[in-house]
Every structure is written in structure tokens, then in C-alpha cells.
Amino acid sequence: MKLTVALLQLKSTGSLGGNLEKGLAACVRAKVLGGDIALFPEMWSCGYNLGESREAILRGGVGADSRFVSLFGQLAKEVGMAIAITYLEADGSRLFNTMSLFDRNGHEALRYRKVHTCDFDREQYLDAGDGFGVVDLDTAGGAVKVGAMICYDREFPESARILMLKGSELILVPNACPMELNRLSQLRARAFENMVGIATANYPMGSPDCNGHSSAFDGVAYVPGRTESRDTCILEAPAEEGVYLAHFDLAMMRAYRSSEVHGNAYRRPSRYQVITAERVEEPFVRAGRVKR
């Protein structure tokens, strides 16, 4: 079974209406190119352009049932392709960094709200999501277990680990930051240690604090008949704007997951209690840390 994820490495137009129009057109192109899932960069509704106060940010938010979001659900049904649309979500007085994944029938299969908000920056005004979910996504080739994490979530191994433990085969990662060697290495590590596919969509060069290099890793480090390890990177896009296709060989990934030593094969969770401790001690104490 093959699965193609179209990474929409797009530059924001600077307006909600402009991003709606441009985003819909990019999804149609992704379908024409053979995409099974179209993935947007982080907070596409506003191009990750946040105001300087909570009140200003709230004014730029959209509801999960807004026209902006629902039109992507309608398009998913029309073209028969899953769409992972991202947006600054306003839910009453609460604000979230959100991704809604619509399946190819137009149903919202997953709504993920970013858990690890960047509280050292303007995301301190956003609320943290409640947790990580995994769904069976209906595709033309069959069901695929899909989860999500958003940008800064990537820097916490627990994010991908929880998704793996919940059965995820593929993790979608909307992103908005410079994808340099170390961040790409984080994604490579998350895929390797959990034996999962990871697809990341970033904004292109020319967008504030971004440089393109959307990427995909399939997590398969060893294959029969080869003595050396295999590069798990199946796509690294250039800096320029475009729609880039990542082709995941799910049959190979599933065979690998059924026999290799990573993931949940040999863990000892009874030894890990310290991971869930709430205390924060030096040298990690930060004056601006927001308790969630």
C-alpha cells in the first residue's frame, strides 16, 4: 500500500480570504498530482501572523465551524482527498493553534490543538490542547492510523511517543520555523525511535522566520538484504514555494514495525515515573513559564 502526502509549502497572502482562495487552489493541485492527504503549514488562516496582545490575536481567530474551515471539508469530499487545514481557532474566549483533518468523504476525522505552545513568545496568549489523538483515516488504499503534532511539539519526544503508543503509523506536522539541521534531525529521530512516518509542511523562504525544507521521514532504517542502514528521509523540499509530494510505502513500513526493536517492543514504562513529574527545577526554571 502506498500513501502520498502533499506538503503545501505556501507563502501566506496576508489575509484570511486570500489564504482561503490560495489554499483551496493548492489542494486541487495536490489532488491532480496524486495526493492522498494535503497538509498545510502551521496556522494557515493567518499565516502564523499573531497580534501583540490576546485581544488582538482573538480578533484574528476563526471558529472550527467557520466558513474558512468548512470549505476545506467540502473540497475534501468534492475531490476525494483528505485535507489537513490549520488555523488560529477562536472558541469563545479561548484560543488554540489547531489542525482539522478532513477525510476524503469530507468528515472531520481529527481535530488537534497544539499541546506545547511557545509560551516564551506570543503563543503565551494561546491555550494548550488537551492531548494527542489518533484516528483511522479512510484512504483509497485502505485505513491508515494518523496523528498530529504541531511545530514546537516536535521538540518533546513525548509527543511522538504518545502517538506511537496510540497506534499512529503516520504523524502530520504543520510547521512555522526555520527547518535547519537540528530540527530536521529531531524529526528524523522521532521517526526512527517510534518506527512511524512523519510528514512536515513548512512555509517557504520569504515567509517570516521560515525557510521551506518541508520534509518526510518513513522511519525504516534497515531493510532485508542490506548490511548498512538506510536513509529514512524520503523527501526534503527546497526553499522555494511549491507543492511537494512524499510517497510512503506503508507495506514496507508495516513489515518493519512488525519485526524491528524500536517503538514499544522493549520499553520498560515502570521505570519512567519521573517523566510525569510536574516539578521544574534549575537550570530549567523560566520566569515567563505559563502553567497549564
Cell 489537513 locates to 84
- Domains of the chain with bracketed CATH: 2-276 (3.60.110.10)
The CA distance from 153 to 160, in Å, is 8
CB neighbours (10 Å) of residue 278? 5
Q: What is the pLDDT of residue 227?
A: 84
Q: What is the pLDDT of residue 177?
A: 97
Beta strand segments in 92-211, E: 94-102, 108-113, 134-139, 142-148, 170-174, 197-201
- Widest Cα–Cα separation across the chain: 59
The residues assigned a catalytic role are: 42, 114, 151
CB neighbours (10 Å) of residue 183? 19
Q: What is the pLDDT of residue 141?
A: 86
The CA distance from 88 to 259, in Å, is 40
What are 290's three cell numbers? 505559563
Q: What is the pLDDT of residue 291?
A: 62
Instruction: For Cα atoms 85, 89, 151, give the angle at the middle one, nearest 5 degrees.
Output: 60
Question: Nearest CA to 257 among 247, 249, 268?
Answer: 249
Question: Per residue of the chain (292 residues), what is the pLDDT tens digit?
Answer: 899 999 999 999 999 999 999 999 999 999 999 999 999 999 999 999 999 899 999 999 999 999 999 999 999 999 999 999 999 999 999 999 999 999 999 999 999 999 999 989 989 999 999 999 999 999 988 999 999 999 999 999 999 999 999 999 999 999 999 999 999 999 999 999 999 999 999 999 999 999 999 999 999 999 888 889 999 999 999 999 999 999 999 999 999 999 999 999 999 999 999 998 988 989 999 887 766 5
Which helix (H) or strand (E) segment is 85 a member of?
strand 82-91
Instruction: For Cα atoms 129, 131, 133, give the angle at the middle one, nearest 5 degrees.
Output: 120
